[in-house]
Amino acid sequence: MIFPTPKHELYSDGVYAVKAYTDTVDLMELYEKYKSGNEDVKIIFEQKFAEDEYSIVIKEDGIKITAKGDCGIFRAVSSLRQLLKEHGDKLPFCEIKDNPDFKKRSYMLDISRCRMPKVETITRLIDLLAELKYNEFQLYMESFVMKLKHFPKYTEDFDCLTPEDIEYLDKYCSDRFIDLVPNQNCLGHMGTWLDEEEFKHLDVSGGVENTGTVNPLLPETMEFADKLYDSVLPHFKSEFVNIGLDEAYGLGKYNLEEICKEKGTDNVFVDWLIKLSDHIDKKHGKKVQFWADMLYESPDAYKRIPDGAIALCWGYDLAKSAMMERLAMALEQKNVPYYICPGNCTWISMTGRFDVASFNLRTCGEIGKSHGAIGYMVTDWGCGEGHTHFPVWSLVPAALGAQYSWHVGEKQNGGMLKPHNIHNAEKYIDENVFGAPVSRWLYKMQQYYLYEPERIHCATMCGYIIRHPLNVTAIPGSFDLKECGEPFYFENVISYMNRCLEGIKDVEFDENWKRQVFVNCRMVILSAELCIIRITQTAENKKIDELVAMIDEISKEYAHLWDRENYQKGKEHFLDQISDRKRELLMMKDGGKL
C-alpha cells in the first residue's frame, strides 16, 4: 500500500517483471531513471491533469505514468518507489489515480529559539518531506540564525547558516519540487532584536521594556524591515515570504495605546501588513504570507488584506482545534486565500504529545478541506524552553501531516479518529526511517503527560517546569503543584517512562535516533523527580546524589547529540537550566534550604 494513501488504488492478479531493475530506492536516483521513460516505464503527458496529479498503471506490458509535467512524474515516482521497495522487481498489476486535497502542502521548521540545525540536518528532513509529497518548506527565523548582509556584527562570534547555505538549500528543495519559503517575522516575536541597544527604541514601549513587538508607526521600523528583508529575501527564489506578524502582544500598549483606541488594533495591524506587503512586492517581487491570529476577532478587517497575501490560520491544542472551524469559515466567507496550520505538538514537552497532535492534524485537514483552504502547513516549533526535544519526535507527525495534506479521507461522521492513518504513518516511518518497530514505543512515551495531575496549554508539566527554580511550583495561568499535585502522580510518570525505556532498549535501530529517544525520556524522568522535590521541598542526600549524577549524564549526552546535528549556539540554554537545578539540589544536602 502506498503512503500517503492515494485517492484510487486498485490491485489485481498478476505481476510485471521489471527489466532494468536496480535495488536502489533513493527517490532522486529513481526519478532521474524514470522521468523520461525507459524500457519499463512509458511517460504520457496529459495537460488536463493538475500539477501534482498523476496516474500509474502496471500491466503485463509495463509501467505507464501519466502526468501534466515533471512535478506529477516526480509524485508518481515517489509512489512507485514504495512499490519497488516492497515488491522488488516483481511489481503487482495495479491502477493508481491520485491528486492532493491541498494545492500547497507545507512543513515549517523553527530554526530559531536555540536549536539551529546544520545544513545536513535540514537536507535529511527535506528528503523525508519529498518522499511524503510535501511541496513547500519554510525555515522560521526569529533570532540571529543567518549571516545577514546589513547586520553582520550580531552573528560574527558564532557559526550559523550563511547566504550560500540558503541558496544550496533552495536548490536542494527545488530539485525535489519543494518551494523553500523564507519565514522572517517583523512585528511580534522580535524580542531578540529588541534586546539590542541599537533597536530598543523600535519597541512599542520606546525602550521601557522589551514587549517583543516593534512599533509599526516609526519610520525607523520600516528602515529596519527594509534592511532585514534585503538581507534575507535575495537568497530565496520563492515568490512568497512569510512575514509572520503573529502574537504582537505590544499592539495597543505604550506608544500605540491611543492610536489603537482611535483606529482599532486590527486596523493598525492591517496598515502595517499593507505597508510591508507593498514594499516587499515592489522591491523583491514577492507576495506575503502572514499569521492571521491578530485578526481572529476582527473578521471585517479581512476585506483590507492586500491582493495576493495569504493568511495562515493556526491553532494547536485541543481547545484551539475546536475553534478552527469558525476561523476558517470567516476566511472562506471573505474570500481570503488561506492555509490551515496545525502543529506537531512536540514543544515544551521533551517528547511531544502525539494524541493531541493527531487530533489537531486530522481536525485541521477536515476543516481546511471543507472550507476552501488552499494550503495545509504542519508547524514544528521550538518555543522558549530551548528547543529541548530532538528531531526524532517529529517524524511520525510529519508523516501523519503528509497524509492529511494529501488525502483527508472519508468525511467526518460521529467523531471518527481515523486510526488507520495513524498506524499507516507509524508503519511508514518504521519501514523507511527506523527499519524497526519503533513508532509505537514513541507513541507510548509521548503519553506520559497523562499521568501528570493536570493538563496545561501547549505543554506538559514536566516539560514546562524543569526550566524554573525548585522553589517554584506554580505554572502561570494553570496550576500550582502544591495544590493539585502529590508525589503519587510523578512517581507514576517515573515508573511509566522507565518501563518504556526498558521495552525499547533491545530494539535495534539507528544509534543516533535511539540516543535522542533515551536522552529526552531521561529528561522527563529527571523533571518528574524534581517535581516531587518541588512538592515536598525536601530530599535525602542519597536521592540528591542520584539526581546530580543524572543531570551530569543528561548534560553530557545532550551536548553530544546537539553537536552532531546543530550549530553550537543555543545549546547552553537548556544546559544552564539543569545546571541551576544541580546547584539547587546541592544546596539542599544535609537539610539545607533553597
C-alpha distances in angstroms, 574 versus 350, 457, 469?
11, 21, 13
Strands 375-380 and 338-341: parallel
pLDDT at 414 > cutoff 80: no
pLDDT of residue 238: 98
* Spatial separation of the C-alpha atoms in residues 260 and 253, rounded to whole Å: 8
- What average pLDDT score do residues 308-335 get? 92
Reported confidence tier of residue 594, pLDDT bands at 50, 70, 90? confident
The number of C-alpha atoms within 13 Å of 545 and in the hemisphere containing its C-beta is 4
pLDDT of residue 592: 86
The string of pLDDT tens digits covering residues 163-202 is: 999 999 999 999 999 999 999 999 999 999 999 999 999 9
Tell the residue number behind the cell numbers 543524572, with chain if given: 550
* Spatial separation of the C-alpha atoms in residues 477 and 169, rounded to whole Å: 40
- What average pLDDT score do residues 384-400 get? 94
**Cα Rg, the chain, nearest whole Å:** 25
- The second-level CATH assignment, the architecture, of 104-422 is Alpha-Beta Barrel (3.20)
pLDDT at 485 > cutoff 90: no
pLDDT at 415 > cutoff 80: no
pLDDT of residue 308: 95
pLDDT at 401 > cutoff 80: yes
* Spatial separation of the C-alpha atoms in residues 515 and 537, rounded to whole Å: 32
pLDDT of residue 319: 79
The string of pLDDT tens digits covering residues 274-292 is: 999 999 999 999 999 999 9
Reported confidence tier of residue 532, pLDDT bands at 50, 70, 90? very high
Query: Which part of the chain has CATH 3.20.20.80?
Result: 104-422
Query: Which part of the chain has CATH 3.30.379.10?
Result: 8-98
* Spatial separation of the C-alpha atoms in residues 571 and 507, rounded to whole Å: 29
Task: Work out the percent of the chain whose per-residue pLDDT is above 70.
Answer: 100
Look over the chain and give the mean of its residue pLDDT values, rounded to a whole number.
96
pLDDT at 384 > cutoff 90: no
- What average pLDDT score do residues 446-471 get? 96
pLDDT of residue 255: 96
pLDDT at 413 > cutoff 80: no
pLDDT at 106 > cutoff 80: yes
Count the residues in the chain.
Answer: 594
Long-range contacts of 423-428 (CB under 8 A, 24+ apart): 424/1, 424/3, 424/5, 425/3, 425/396, 425/399, 425/400, 426/396, 426/399, 427/3, 428/3, 428/132, 428/399
In CATH, what number does 8-98 get?
3.30.379.10
